[in-house]
A and B are shown apart, each in its own frame.
Chain A
Amino acid sequence: KQEVTQIPAALSVPEGENLVLNCSFTDSAIYNLQWFRQDPGKGLTSLLLIQSSQREQTSGRLNASLDKSSGRSTLYIAASQPGDSATYLCAVSQPVSSNTGKLIFGQGTTLQVKP
């Protein structure tokens, strides 16, 4: 059974700092991995999607890496800003052959960036 773990559960950093959020998964047979952002009282917004054949994806100040063999992904945020404060969730998608369509989510890392 696939399990997704995110460490740390919460993180507080001063503005301008570079930071790394970690995600690990137990079954390396994934279709893709996504990072989402969730603001309080809101739904989830997809930030980055990494296909299983890819190693990383970048969008602006965000960079996500994927190491399938070790079951790990990281989300790197450069030059953090107070507007980055949110909960970040990692989710893995099961292989398309299984046709389950399930995204398995981690519990999230709640980030606070202090001005």
Chain B
Amino acid sequence: DAGVIQSPRHEVTEMGQEVTLRCKPISGHDYLFWYRQTMMRGLELLIYFNNNVPIDDSGMPEDRFSAKMPNASFSTLKIQPSEPRDSAVYFCASSFDPHTIYFGEGSWLTVV
């Protein structure tokens, strides 16, 4: 299996622009997670889905962030408008169950 696939791997954008991060989970996994990693706060769960339905979005920082999972093989995390403080590594992960997860290699976002 190819693992969890994320794109883009690296993105540099200007403040105010819309950013869309994409994720393809491992086939057959029912759970999909979006995490954010920063030096200051470490790894934080933003949102997770079960069978394409958002279960817990309490980690989404504010209304500028939104996530969708239109089908079992694709999810997006969107930031609009982006701000410099959104600069981080965004990880997507998937799993058969909510407690054992497989991470993608991350999308490195820099907002200038």
Contacts and interface: CB of A to CB of B under 8 A. Distances in A.
A79 to B, nearest CB: 27
B25 interface: no
A23 to B, nearest CB: 13
A91 B48 CA distance: 16
The size class of the interface chain A forms with chain B is 20 to 34
Contacts of A100: 56, 98
Per DSSP, are chain B's interface residues mostly helix, strand or loop, or mixed?
A: strand
Nearest to A106: B42
Interface stretch (A10-18, A43-51, A54-62, A66-74): A43-51
B101 interface: yes
Contacts of A34: 100
A58 B57 CA distance: 34
Contact of B56 (A96, A102, A108): A102
Interface of A: 31-32, 34, 41-46, 49, 89, 91, 93, 96, 99-103, 105-108
